């Protein structure tokens, strides 16, 4: 399998190449040159497979010759071995033809673990084939940092440095990062905001001598391997409810458009997925786009579902490329204009293609709390403030006679304040994190200065290279 950039000006790469490269050199995102396809019989043959085996089967053609089948299967089994559910991604029925699929049984209690547990292992494997090391740097406002740290802790060929804004993450989120004491992990608490952290990461990548000295890399959600690691659970959920012999719809709490893009990919490889509901909080750029072709960026407003607080969904470019029939020049021009004006010009024809695939849904904070409360009162089920938006979207936009699955993207204990406000219940952490508040923490407080941060990265790298 070959991968090409959505902007058409970067080298064509194989799977290992796009894994290590992340963003393409032309500013575009990597996409498979063509979509693999599973026939209905091939899909039926996957029914009942344990999740890791199904995942390896779904990913095989995307990975191509880069990793042999037995190794891919082993990496998948290792990735999901420590999940808190034997099904890995269990389906829970909430109503007639309405299910939720719990993606939060990984080590950090959010769906980011589904891809990142695998991506950390893929990095190690590919780097040892090449006898190389990398240094992963990233900025986080919470969820992604902890999932990336858990994925990389103790890996032999990777060092990881995560910047978080000092005092501006929740205590659960901070402790999930800072209580990982592996020698290849460094947490930097930056005196500044999340935007400062992000700017510092960008500055490190822009410092070309530094970048090559420490072999900088990233695992953010524009990395194709992150999308790939999210396709299998759509296949698994659909097969469990009768696909390929009936259509299945999905509702997905959406921020950067990575998760719902994986659902689109599942459809492209042959799973009969009908409607994809894109669920948003008050930061509703995607809902506005789908309702009236209005893709205009506004300022981000904080909400109860912070992982969906976005202004621009970085993975949308991959869908745009598909909507424009893979015309890279048009995609590049559209993205450049969006950057310049804050408004994405999309033709009526391309917009109609989008609305044939996706439908948008939006929910504010007050409704989010009342929906958490109502669901708990009627069923005993506790949904976190991201998941509940997907569940309500599925209720509102599900179709008569068609099963719909709402993706549960975080464990309720990850957002105890919202659950407490809605229900008066303090959701307990699962057993493996029950002592989180007693664990030793390790992090370094630093000013928001690039020289200081780079010196911290160098110190970690030279210690571990020795």
The catalytic residues are: 112
User: Does residue 259 touch ligand PLP according to CB under 6 A?
Assistant: yes
Interface residue with ligand PLP, options 7, 57, 112, 282 (CB under 6 A):
112
User: Does residue 5 touch ligand PLP according to CB under 6 A?
Assistant: no
User: Does residue 306 touch ligand PLP according to CB under 6 A?
Assistant: no
Burial class (CB in 10 A: 0-12, 13-18, 19+), 49: middle
Interface residue with ligand PLP, options 146, 254, 331, 368 (CB under 6 A):
254
User: Does residue 307 touch ligand PLP according to CB under 6 A?
Assistant: yes
In terms of CB distance, is 157 or 164 closer to ligand PLP?
164
Interface residue with ligand PLP, options 99, 250, 257, 316 (CB under 6 A):
257
CB of 229 to ligand PLP, least distance (A): 11
User: Does residue 221 touch ligand PLP according to CB under 6 A?
Assistant: yes
User: Does residue 308 touch ligand PLP according to CB under 6 A?
Assistant: yes
Residues 289 and 352: their CA atoms lie apart, in Å, by 11
User: Does residue 223 touch ligand PLP according to CB under 6 A?
Assistant: no
CB of 76 to ligand PLP, least distance (A): 20
Options 49-57, 186-194, 257-265, 451-459: segment touching ligand PLP (CB under 6 A): 257-265
Closest C-alpha among 100, 109, 57, 53 to residue 81: 53
User: Does residue 113 touch ligand PLP according to CB under 6 A?
Assistant: no
User: Does residue 255 touch ligand PLP according to CB under 6 A?
Assistant: yes
In terms of CB distance, is 176 or 409 closer to ligand PLP?
409
Size of the site for ligand PLP (CB under 6 A): 16
SS3 for the chain is CCEEECCCCCCCECHHHHHHHCCCCCCCCEEECCCCCCCHHHHHHHCCCCHHHHHHHHHHHHHHHHCCHHHHHHHHHHHHCCCCCCCCCCEEEEECCEEEEECCCCCCCECHHHHHHHHHHHHHHHHHHHCCCEEEEEECCCHHHHHHHHHHCCCCCEEEEEEEECCCCCHHHHHHHHCCCCCCEEEEEEECCHHHHHHHHHHHHHCHHHHHHCCEECCCCCCHHHHHCCHHHHHHHHHHCCCCCCCEEEEEECCCCHHHHHHHHHHHCCCCEEEEEEEECCCCHHHHHHHHCCCECCCCCCCCCHHHCCCCCCCHHHHHHHHCCCCHHHHHHHHHHHHHHCECCCCHHHHHHHHHHEEEEECCHHHHHHHHHHHHHHHCCCCCCCHHHHHHHHHHHCCCCCCEEEEECECHHHCHHHHHHHHCCCCCCCHHHCCHHHCCCCCEEEECCHHHHHHHHHHHHHHHHC
User: Does residue 217 touch ligand PLP according to CB under 6 A?
Assistant: no
User: Does residue 409 touch ligand PLP according to CB under 6 A?
Assistant: yes
CB of 457 to ligand PLP, least distance (A): 25
Options 24-32, 160-168, 242-250, 256-264: segment touching ligand PLP (CB under 6 A): 256-264
User: Does residue 392 touch ligand PLP according to CB under 6 A?
Assistant: no
User: Does residue 229 touch ligand PLP according to CB under 6 A?
Assistant: no
In terms of CB distance, is 140 or 334 closer to ligand PLP?
140
CB of 384 to ligand PLP, least distance (A): 7
String marking each residue 8-47 x if it binds ligand PLP according to CB under 6 A: ----------------------------------------
Considering only residues 141 through 160, tell me which ones interact with ligand PLP, judged by CB under 6 A.
143
Interface residue with ligand PLP, options 10, 386, 405, 423 (CB under 6 A):
386
Q: Cβ(297)–Cβ(311) under 8 Å?
A: yes
In terms of CB distance, is 16 or 254 closer to ligand PLP?
254
User: Does residue 258 touch ligand PLP according to CB under 6 A?
Assistant: yes
Interface residue list for ligand PLP (CB under 6 A) = 110, 112, 143, 221, 253-259, 307-308, 386, 409-410
């Amino acid at each position: 399998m070959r991968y090409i950039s959505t902007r058409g000006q970067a080298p064509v790469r194989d799977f290992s190449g796009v894994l290590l490269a992340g963003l393409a050199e032309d500013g575009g995102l990597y996409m498979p040159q063509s979509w693999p396809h599973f026939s209905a019989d091939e899909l039926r043959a996957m029914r009942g497979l344990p999740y890791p085996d199904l995942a390896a089967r779904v990913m095989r053609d995307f990975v191509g010759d880069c990793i042999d089948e037995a190794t891919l299967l082993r990496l998948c089994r290792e990735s999901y071995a420590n999940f808190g559910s034997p099904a890995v991604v269990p389906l829970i029925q909430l109503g007639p033809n309405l299910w939720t699929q719990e993606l939060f049984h990984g080590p950090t209690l959010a769906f980011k673990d589904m891809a990142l547990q695998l991506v950390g292992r893929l990095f190690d494997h590919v780097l040892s084939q090449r006898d190389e090391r990398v240094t992963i740097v990233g900025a986080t406002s919470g969820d992604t940092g902890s999932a990336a740290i858990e994925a990389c802790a103790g890996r032999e060929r990777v060092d990881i440095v995560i910047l978080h804004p000092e005092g501006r993450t929740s205590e659960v989120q901070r402790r999930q990062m800072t209580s990982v004491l592996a020698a290849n992990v460094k947490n930097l608490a930056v005196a500044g905001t999340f935007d400062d952290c992000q700017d510092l990461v960008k500055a490190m990548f822009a410092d070309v001598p530094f970048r090559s000295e420490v072999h900088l890399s990233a695992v953010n959600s524009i990395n194709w391997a992150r999308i790939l690691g999210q396709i299998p659970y759509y296949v698994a959920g659909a097969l469990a409810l009768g696909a390929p012999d009936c259509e299945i719809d999905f509702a997905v709490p959406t921020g950067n458009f990575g998760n719902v893009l994986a659902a689109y990919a599942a459809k492209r490889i042959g799973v009969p997925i009908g409607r994809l509901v894109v669920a948003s909080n008050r930061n509703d750029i995607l809902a506005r786009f789908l309702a009236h072709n209005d893709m205009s960026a506004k300022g981000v407003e904080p909400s109860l579902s912070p992982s969906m607080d976005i202004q621009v969904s970085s993975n949308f470019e991959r869908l745009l490329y598909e909507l424009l029939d893979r015309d890279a020049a048009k995609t590049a021009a559209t993205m450049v204009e969006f950057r310049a004006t804050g408004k994405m010009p999309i033709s009526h024809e391309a917009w109609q293609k989008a609305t044939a695939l996706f439908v948008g849904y939006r929910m504010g904070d007050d409704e989010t709390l009342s929906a958490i409360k109502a669901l708990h009162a009627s069923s005993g089920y506790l949904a976190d403030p991201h998941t509940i938006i997907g569940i309500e979207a599925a209720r509102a936009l599900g179709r008569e006679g068609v099963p719909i699955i709402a993706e549960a993207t975080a464990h309720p204990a990850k957002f105890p304040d919202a659950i407490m406000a809605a229900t008066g219940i303090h959701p307990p952490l699962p057993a493996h994190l029950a002592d989180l508040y007693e664990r030793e923490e390790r992090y370094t407080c630093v000013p928001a200065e690039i020289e200081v941060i780079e010196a911290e990265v160098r110190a970690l790298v030279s210690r571990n290279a020795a």
